[in-house]
A and B are shown apart, each in its own frame.
Chain A
């Protein structure tokens, strides 16, 4: 590969930070961690871009690096769960506490509730529009596994979002009932 070609690839890698960040955030649901993973991925990518054989495979290759970085992070965690079970945002932050989650928050909350392996597949397919073949290659899993994980991820995601909507509605109804009761109490006074 010529110096010029390498320079172009490095520029492309540097320019892909937001793309990588979006997927990274979908995987780990933690903005700070997502940023760290992206920086690490870009650094590795720039460092090792001479190993890339086909420029068309750049993003698939970058997501493989991101995937490796995330696995490494999970392995370092002291009491980490198996990736199949890993749910990082069980009780974290205002997202879970916020009563009226807007659509973006609802989606991000729902994705954080999916097992990590499902999050990976759905974000590569839906956010990056990777083909199943590319996902299989990037994550080093069979295509059949990509399809079944994707199917489960989508089903679970919609279930969680729809359940949230019902719960939000119930909370709103309860809140208005409490308001009405309070108003009646004032009148009795």
Chain B
């Protein structure tokens, strides 16, 4: 049995940087699948790498005066999406994150994608936690009331355990969610297609609350929304409006 401390941080760092041979990389990937501790350590290294990219994605001679004039380019989006991927990977298992997160150099001429005109929030929920569900719905409720008769929008995307929020018959908030969706047109509840498929593979009987969208994996949605200028928020980091 592999012990967690078999890989020191420098080796894990070399793994994250793609500096190891395939044999050692493979044994780390296997260890990550088995040991939360190693997974977490790799996550922290990856987080650091992504933060660095975000921190300097906008650094160019044209806009050198202020980091507040930050525009989302491909580099930054890749980094944020990568951070979001980490969140998903940690909540629903490791699969796919490592391979998906490695990116190449951006071009400095990368197109500016986002121009946020109105408030658009993407809430991401990935744990089956009644407090988080409640906090998310309270947030949605307040947001919609505060932005009534504006074109502000809010979406709640659920994957892994978070799907319990939008499962018909099991969600403790089914009635509330239906009411919200009936009352407002600028709110969307979205289920992760991958998580649904995983549950179905396990033979879990599954039905989503009516009007909940289901067509793509959460990661695709998150990237798409972020590219579209939405503000990404993880439910467990919510502060009230």
Contact = CB atoms under 8 A, between A and B. Distances in A.
Given A103-B55, A147-B13, A108 B60 contact: no
A106 to B, nearest CB: 8
A22 B56 contact: yes
A121 to B, nearest CB: 11
Contacts of B10: 147-148, 150-151
Interface stretch (A46-54, A63-71, A123-131): A123-131
A123 B56 CA distance: 9
Nearest to B11: A147
A182 interface: no
A31 B17 CA distance: 27
Interface string A18-35: 110110011000010011
A126 B68 contact: no
Query: B13, B61, B70 — which one has the most chain A CB atoms within 10 A of its CB?
Result: B61
Nearest to A169: B239
Q: Interface on chain A toward B: helix, strand, loop, or mixed SS?
A: helix
Interface stretch (B44-52, B87-95, B147-155, B163-171): B44-52
Interface residues of A, number: 37
Contacts of A86: none
B60 A18 contact: yes
Interface residues of B, number: 30
A55 interface: no
B52 A35 contact: no
Query: B45, B64, B105 — which one has the most chain A CB atoms within 10 A of its CB?
Result: B64
Contact of B61 (A17, A106, A148): A17
Given A21-B60, A21-B61, A157 B48 contact: yes
A122 B52 contact: yes
A67 B220 CA distance: 40
A158 interface: yes
Contacts of A125: 17
A164 to B, nearest CB: 12
B58 A104 contact: yes
A116 interface: no
Interface string A107-147: 11001000000000011011111011000000000000001
B145 interface: no
A74 interface: no
A31 B10 CA distance: 31
Query: A17, A35, A147 — which one has the most chain B CB atoms within 10 A of its CB?
Result: A147
Given A104-B70, A108-B67, A158-B47, A151 B52 contact: no
Given A18-B108, A22-B60, A111 B55 contact: yes
15 contacts: A21-B59, A22-B59, A26-B55, A26-B59, A34-B64, A38-B61, A103-B55, A107-B52, A107-B55, A107-B56, A111-B55, A129-B104, A129-B105, A148-B10, A155-B9
Kindly list the 7 A-B residue pairs having the minimum CB-CB distance in the complex, ordered from nearest: A107-B55, A18-B108, A126-B52, A18-B60, A22-B59, A154-B48, A31-B64
